[in-house]
């Protein structure tokens, strides 16, 4: 007997430098009734696709774009064991370019603090970080954003940085 099971996919979000997000886990209740879901960032109108259990859904046939980060499904009401993800281009119209930068990472660092040029009004902002090397080699470290404040945030690395050629590129979106 063969038993087929759905593969559990972790909360994965991949941000490319051109502003496209692939495999963003969208929020909303997977209860078989809810049809309204939210993306992590505001998306550009008509530049979004949903993926429901691996099947691509497209607006306006399968869902409506009912807000800057809101999606309303027309026919499907996903259940808890189902997979709903979005691929979209970030809407940067509300993006302030003064909240982006490239911060050198010191040798032996295990974390990096980033301080904004001026305080944000609150901590309901999203952050994109990318650890790159100045010598062109790929980064061997993963990173995660830790604490956020109105004045900045902290990024933690998967290990102690072993050279002085790492740069933390970051952008803040509202």
Tell me the per-residue pLDDT of 122-167, one tens digit each, with 9 for 90 and over.
888 888 888 888 777 777 888 889 889 999 999 999 999 988 889 8
Does residue 2 belong to any structural domain of this protein? no
116 and 166 together in one domain: yes
The alpha carbon torsion through 60, 62, 64, 70 (nearest 10 deg) reads -140
Domain boundary among 37, 71, 90: 90
The 8-class DSSP code of residue 46 comes to E
Q: What's the pLDDT score for residue 88?
A: 82
In a domain, 8, yes or no: no
Query: What's the confidence (pLDDT) of residue 96?
Result: 62
Domain-located, residue 4:
no
Pair 18, 86 in one domain: yes
- Identify the domain containing residue 56 by its residue range: 14-90
**Taking all residues of the chain, what is their mean pLDDT, rounded to a whole number?**
81
Are residues 26 and 60 both part of a single domain?
Answer: yes
- CATH code, 109: 2.60.40
- Paired sense of beta strands 152-157 and 84-90, if any: unpaired
Long-range contacts of 93-100 (CB under 8 A, 24+ apart): 94/42, 94/173, 94/174, 95/171, 95/173, 95/174, 96/172, 96/174, 99/125, 99/171, 99/172, 100/170, 100/171, 100/172
Pick from 70, 71, 79, 83: nearest CA to 10: 83
Establish if 7 belongs to a structural domain.
Answer: no
3 state DSSP class of 72: strand
Low-confidence ranges of the chain (pLDDT < 50): 1-17
Q: Is residue 6 assigned to a domain?
A: no
What pLDDT is recorded for position 35?
A: 93
Q: Domains in the chain: how many in total?
A: 2
Partners of 14 in the β-ladder: 22
């Amino acid at each position: 007997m063969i038993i087929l099971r759905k593969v559990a996919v972790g909360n994965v979000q991949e941000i490319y430098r051109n502003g496209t997000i692939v495999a963003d886990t969208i929020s909303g209740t997977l209860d078989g009734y809810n049809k309204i879901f939210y993306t992590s960032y505001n998306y550009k109108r008509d530049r979004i696709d949903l993926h429901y259990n691996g099947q691509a859904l497209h607006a306006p046939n399968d869902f409506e774009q009912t807000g800057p980060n809101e999606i309303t499904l027309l026919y499907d009401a996903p259940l808890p064991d189902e997979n709903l993800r979005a691929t979209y281009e970030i809407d940067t119209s509300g993006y302030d370019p003064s909240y982006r930068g490239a911060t050198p990472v010191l040798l032996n660092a295990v974390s990096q603090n980033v301080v904004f040029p001026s305080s944000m009004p609150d901590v309901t902002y999203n952050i994109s970080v990318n650890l790159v090397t100045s010598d062109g080699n790929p980064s061997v470290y993963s990173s995660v954003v830790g604490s956020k404040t109105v004045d900045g945030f902290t990024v933690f690395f998967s290990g102690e940085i072993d050279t002085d050629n790492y740069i933390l590129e970051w952008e803040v979106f509202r």
